[in-house]
């Protein structure tokens, strides 16, 4: 109390100005969000600005962000965005006191946000509305809080008493918060995907995945489990908000270089025979020894069957798949029609796809990195050509053809572990989807390479676990692993980073033997 009273009159005015700016910004976002929920949650001003920033982050920076923050990279982005906005808002409030400069800044922000909204991949002209309404409400809030009146007339000095300012501030704050909260509540009511997924019944399949033999899984503590549970499955997506697409609203349009345009909804899909396949999915951003790979049981429909319904022109060489959130991937048509298990998947490990893994439908194409094949929340398949179209990541410099490179990883002993001298089990996994793993070798320091024991192969499209018995001698040792693929091609030693077509090099681990 006294601290506030202790401010000079000018200091108090500055404090008020900054508070007015913050409240005006909260009004823009709160009202904007509420209006957006009624139109399309993707048109919410805060979301529009964040999503635009994500899409325009240089790939090197984004790569570093994914490495550093994992799935928290978006939270970090949100926090820094909110900080910048708060500073800008306080400045707008301070500048508004004599002339409507703050209002002008808000209009500028509105113009930028509307432009960004119109550029969103799913934008309609309606996308401008939440921002426009939000900015107008924000200007009224700013005027009321700085001059006591929403009009643009110049205020009398001291026209706004302390009591009136506090009352107006409380009213504006309550309005902004309740608008945002109502928007959030309404959003979950209108887009209740959790309930939709809980009701979703998977079709039966006459073609289940071949049984998983026990021999694919060496009984070693800490080794990669052959099947990855959905909650431990790595996750990569560019969407700031996980898309909310109900199974009833979902449609898949197949068009472009086809004999006809066809559209599937869930009911039409269910008239086709479903198949189940176990496939190891891998991200191009995986570093040597990294964890961006997982194996799941996918239930779905052969993409070749769906494309046959549309009739693919012989000179179409790219399937450009598009997600409801605008993400795109360009997959070679040959990879879909060459007999491999390329699927439109609707189930993962016996349950509907988890929402974060693409509910209600996504693509899975064995042998290709996810960014060129595994579109989640997929709604559109366009037959086109590599010389005519580019996709989300290829537009940002990543390779347009991206077969998965041979990789191997040591799981145990853990990094920098200390183990007792004598017999030690070294174990891990290796993958080379479409080619399979024919051998794995392990080397201790500069000693000769030794052959590891391979676990049973499930298929050439899944990873293959391995073990090696080491007679460990005291000291610090470096363990290295390399694999040979099913064509006899050894994994290259040469270290390359993930950009632009996947990392290469041998994984190594340093362990201490006592
Ligand atoms: N809609 C959408 N689909 C997407 C992506 C994305 O960002 N958006 N990322 C792709 C990438 S880079 C990978 S590696 C896989 C990851 O799938 P997962 O998150 O289910 O593991 O999804 C692919 N499908
Ligand atoms: Mo990826």
Q: Chunked in runs of 10, what are the mean pLDDT values of the chain (514 residues)?
A: 60 88 93 89 87 72 53 71 89 86 91 92 88 94 86 64 88 91 80 87 95 98 97 90 90 98 97 97 97 98 98 98 96 98 98 96 98 98 98 94 98 95 98 98 98 98 98 97 98 96 97 96
**End-to-end alpha carbon distance in the chain:** 65
Q: Rounded CA gap, 258 and 128, in Å?
A: 34
Ligand 2 centroid distance, CA of 473 (Å): 40
Residue by residue, DSSP assigns 181-213 as: HHHHHHHHHHT-HHHHHHH--PPP-SBPPPP--
User: Is the peptide bond between 360 and the residue preceding it cis, with omega within 30 degrees of 0?
Assistant: yes
Q: How far is the CA of 87 from the centre of ligand 2 (A)?
A: 35
Q: How far is the CA of 247 from the centre of ligand 1 (A)?
A: 19
Cα–ligand 1 centroid distance for 309 (angstroms): 26
Read off the tokens for 308.
Answer: 């046959």
Closest CA to 351 of 488, 509, 227, 498: 227
* Cα of 357 from ligand 1 centre, angstroms: 8
Residue to mutate (ligand 1; options 66, 71, 236; most atoms within 8 A of CB): 236
Q: Nearest to residue 71, comparing CAs of 237, 243, 198, 311?
A: 237
Q: Residue 100 contacts by C-beta under 8 Å, 6 or more apart in sequence?
A: 143, 152
Note the maximum CA span of the chain: 88
Residue found under tokens 């949100």: 78
Alpha-carbon gap, residue 10 to 94, rounded angstroms? 11
Determine the distance separating the centroid of ligand 1 and the alpha carbon of 363, expressed in angstroms: 9
Measure Cα distances from 18 to 95, 159, 374 in Å.
Answer: 9, 18, 47
| Contact (CB, 8 A) for 461 and 366 | yes
DSSP class of residue 229? P
- Ligand that comes closest to the CA of residue 294: 1
Give me the DSSP letters along 106-157: HHHHHHHHHHHHHTSTT--GGGHHHHHHHHHHHHHHHHHHHHSSSS-SPPPT
Ligand 1 atom 6, closest CA: 237
Ligand 1 test: best mutation among 374, 405, 500, most atoms within 8 Å of CB?
A: 374
Per the CB < 8 A criterion, the answer to whether 334 and 317 are in contact is yes
Q: Which helix (H) or strand (E) holds 175?
A: helix 162-190
Q: Which residues have C-beta within 8 Å of that of residue 334, sequence separation ≥ 6?
A: 317
Which ligand is nearest the CA of 374, by number? 1
Residue nearest to atom 15 of ligand 1 (CA): 370
Q: Alpha-carbon distance 20 to 95, whole Å? A: 11
Closest protein CA for atom 8 of ligand 1: 237
Residue 2 confidence (pLDDT): 43
Look at ligand 1, atom 10, and give the residue with the nearest C-alpha: 371
Contact yes or no for 334/304 (Cβ under 8 A):
no
| C-alpha pair distances (Å), 181 with each of 155, 382, 438, 450 | 33, 39, 57, 62
A 10 A CB-CB count for 265 gives 13
- Which atom of ligand 1 lies at the shortest distance from residue 393's CA? 12
Whether the upstream peptide bond of residue 500 has omega within 30° of 0, thus cis, is yes
Neighbours of 226 (CB within 10 A): 22
Residue 344 CA, ligand 1 centroid: distance in Å: 14
Residue 81 CB neighbour total at 10 angstroms: 14
Protein residue whose Cα sits closest to atom 24 of ligand 1: 375
Q: Nearest residue CA, atom 12 of ligand 1? A: 371
> Ligand 2 centre from 317 Cα, in Å?
22
21 within 8 A of 142, measured Cβ to Cβ: yes
Is this prediction's pTM over 0.95? no
Atom of ligand 1 nearest to the CA of 283: 14
Please state the φ and ψ torsions of residue 483, each to the nearest 5 degrees. Answer: -120, 160
Output the ligand 1 site: residues, CB below 6 A. 233-239, 281, 283, 323, 325, 327, 357, 370-371, 374-377
Cα–Cα distances in Å, from 192 out to 179, 195, 211, 280, 326? 19, 6, 35, 30, 21
**Number of H-type helices and E-type strands within the chain:** 12, 19
Q: Which protein residue's CA is at the shortest distance from atom 5 of ligand 1?
A: 237
- From the number of C-beta atoms within 10 Å of its C-beta (0-12, 13-18, 19+), residue 144 rates as buried
Nearest CA to ligand 1 atom 4: 375
Closest by Cα among 348, 487, 368 to 433: 368
If you measure from the C-alpha of residue 242 to the centroid of ligand 2, how many angstroms do you get, rounded to a whole number? 16
Quick one: which ligand is closest to 236's CA?
1
């Amino acid at each position: 109390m006294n601290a506030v009273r202790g401010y000079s009159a000018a200091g108090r005015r500055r404090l008020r100005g900054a508070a007015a700016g913050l409240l005006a910004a909260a009004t823009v976002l709160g009202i904007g969000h509420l209006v957006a929920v009624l139109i399309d949650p993707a048109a919410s001003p805060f979301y529009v600005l964040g999503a635009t920033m994500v899409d325009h982050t240089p790939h090197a920076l984004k790569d570093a962000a994914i490495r550093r923050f994992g799935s928290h990279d978006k939270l970090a982005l949100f926090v820094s965005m909110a900080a910048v906005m708060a500073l800008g808002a306080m400045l707008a409030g301070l500048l508004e006191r004599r002339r409507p400069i703050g209002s002008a800044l808000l209009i500028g922000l509105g113009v930028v946000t509307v432009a960004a909204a119109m550029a969103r991949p799913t934008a309609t002209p309606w996308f401008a509305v939440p921002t426009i309404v939000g900015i107008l409400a924000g200007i009224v809030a700013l005027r009321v809080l700085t001059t006591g009146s929403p009009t643009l007339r110049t205020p009398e000095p001291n026209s706004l008493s302390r009591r009136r300012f506090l009352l107006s501030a409380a009213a504006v704050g309550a309005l902004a918060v309740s608008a945002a909260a109502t928007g959030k509540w309404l959003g979950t009511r209108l887009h209740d995907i959790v309930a939709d997924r809980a009701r979703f019944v998977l079709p039966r399949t006459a073609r289940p995945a071949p049984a998983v033999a026990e021999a694919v899984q060496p009984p070693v503590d800490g080794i990669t489990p052959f099947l990855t549970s959905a909650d431990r499955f790595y996750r990569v997506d560019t969407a700031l908000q996980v898309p909310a697409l109900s199974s009833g609203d979902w449609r898949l349009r197949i068009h472009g270089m086809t004999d006809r345009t066809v559209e599937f909804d869930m009911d039409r899909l269910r008239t086709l025979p479903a198949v189940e396949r176990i496939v190891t999915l891998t991200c191009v951003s995986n570093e040597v020894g990294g964890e961006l790979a997982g194996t799941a049981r996918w239930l779905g429909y052969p993409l070749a069957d769906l494309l046959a319904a549309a009739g693919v022109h012989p000179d179409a060489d790219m399937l450009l798949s598009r997600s409801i959130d605008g993400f795109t991937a360009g997959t070679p048509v040959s990879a879909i029609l060459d007999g491999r298990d390329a699927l439109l998947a609707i189930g993962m490990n016996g349950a509907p796809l988890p929402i974060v893994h693409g509910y209600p439908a996504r693509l899975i194409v064995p042998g290709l990195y996810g960014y060129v094949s595994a579109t989640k929340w997929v709604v559109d398949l366009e037959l086109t050509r590599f010389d005519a179209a580019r996709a989300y990541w290829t537009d940002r410099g990543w390779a347009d053809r991206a077969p998965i490179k041979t990789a191997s990883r040591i799981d145990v002993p853990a990094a920098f572990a200390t183990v007792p001298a004598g017999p030690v089990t070294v174990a891990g996994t290796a993958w080379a989807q479409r080619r399979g793993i024919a051998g794995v070798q392990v080397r201790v320091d500069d000693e000769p390479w030794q052959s590891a024991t391979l676990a049973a192969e499930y298929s050439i499209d899944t990873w293959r676990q391995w073990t090696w018995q080491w007679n460990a001698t005291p000291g610090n040792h470096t363990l290295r692993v390399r694999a040979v693929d099913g064509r006899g091609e050894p994994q290259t030693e040469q270290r390359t980073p993930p950009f632009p077509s996947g990392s290469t090099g041998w994984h190594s681990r340093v362990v201490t033997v006592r």
